Amino acid sequence: MNRNEEDGPGAFFALRTDPGPDPDGGHLALARLYAGDGAPLAARIDTVAARLGTAERRVAASVAHLGLAARLWSTALGPAVLTGGFPGLRPEDLHWDPRLPAPDDLWHDGATLLPGTAVRIRAVVQHGHLEPLGAAVRRDTPVPARLLWGNAGSALAGAVRQLIAWARTHGRPDVAARTRALAAELFDHPDLRHTGAPHGPGFRRGTCCLYYRVPGGGLCGDCVFDAAPRRPPGRSARG
């Protein structure tokens, strides 16, 4: 699905096939980030911290991770349910500029299209991106791995929720059915199975992304908590 597809579910599911108006800008192949070039991720976390007004770097790291995880799931899941295939998304071919909003944050220069099956999406997104992305975040900031997998589950559920809502609006029960089927398979993995339930639009996390610690942040719609916990400064939230 490219950014010009008018019938798609929105920019968050779109993926550029060129670097945009500034080809010499800040896009970096995600393979470099995963291999240890952490400067762009550190800058993104700094930016998120400034926007949120938080001095807790782990909070900003979690929120930054959640946003990129959501983009990665969406750029695979959207095309898969709409067309039956999705871009190969190799880390060498997928370029990220942490300064830009979707869909300009990512561009893909690979030519490979893969079958839109849960097996392929898991291999590409979960194993090919989310595992090394989580390691990269943890190199920058000591965030619990369980929290990051909770972010991955929340991001997947959010993509599912948006696709099903789009399918209902546009009278596409076939898209909704494919979305539910893929979600069920993707969540059936030890790293994602217990991140929250149910595995669909009503998803509720089993961990907290820490957003409640942002000044005036409150709780996310799928938060594990019913009310923001009162914690002394410095104590970690449930991860």
pLDDT in tens, the chain (239 residues): 444 334 579 999 999 999 877 766 789 999 999 999 999 999 999 999 999 999 999 999 999 999 999 999 999 999 999 999 999 999 999 999 998 988 999 999 988 999 999 999 999 999 999 999 999 999 999 999 999 999 999 999 999 999 999 999 999 999 999 999 999 999 999 999 999 999 989 999 999 999 999 998 889 999 999 998 876 554 444 44
Q: Among candidates 164, 194, 210, 180, which has minimal Cα distance to 45?
A: 210
In a domain, 83, yes or no: yes
- CB of 237 closer than 8 Å to CB of 229: yes
- Other CB atoms within 10 A of residue 225 CB: 13
CA gyration radius, the chain: 17
Write out the residue range of the structural domain in which residue 45 sits. 11-17+28-213
The torsion angles phi and psi of 6, rounded to 5 degrees, stand at: -70, -25
Say how far apart CA 180 and CA 135 lie, in whole Å. 29
User: If you ran DSSP here, which 8-state letter would residue 207 be given?
Assistant: S
In a domain, 86, yes or no: yes
Residue 28 pLDDT: 93
In a domain, 6, yes or no: no
Residue 8 pLDDT: 78
In a domain, 130, yes or no: yes
Residue 232 pLDDT: 53
Residue 121 pLDDT: 98
In a domain, 226, yes or no: no
188 Cβ contact partners less than 8 Å away, ≥ 6 residues apart:
none
pLDDT in tens, 69-91: 999 999 999 999 999 999 999 99
Structural domains of the chain, count:
1
Q: Strand ranges (DSSP E) for the chain?
A: 28-29, 85-87, 94-96, 106-108, 113-115, 196-197, 204-205
In a domain, 142, yes or no: yes
In a domain, 44, yes or no: yes
User: What token pair was written down for 196?
Assistant: 């929250």
Residue 237 pLDDT: 43
- CB of 156 closer than 8 Å to CB of 73: yes
The residues that bridge with 86 in the sheet, in sequence order, are: 114
- Other CB atoms within 10 A of residue 238 CB: 16
Residue 144: exposure state from Cβ atoms within 10 A (0-12, 13-18, ≥19)? middle
In a domain, 185, yes or no: yes
Residue 235 pLDDT: 45
Say how far apart CA 154 and CA 151 lie, in whole Å. 5
Residue 228 pLDDT: 84
Residue 24 pLDDT: 65
Q: Among candidates 74, 47, 43, 62, which has minimal Cα distance to 155?
A: 74
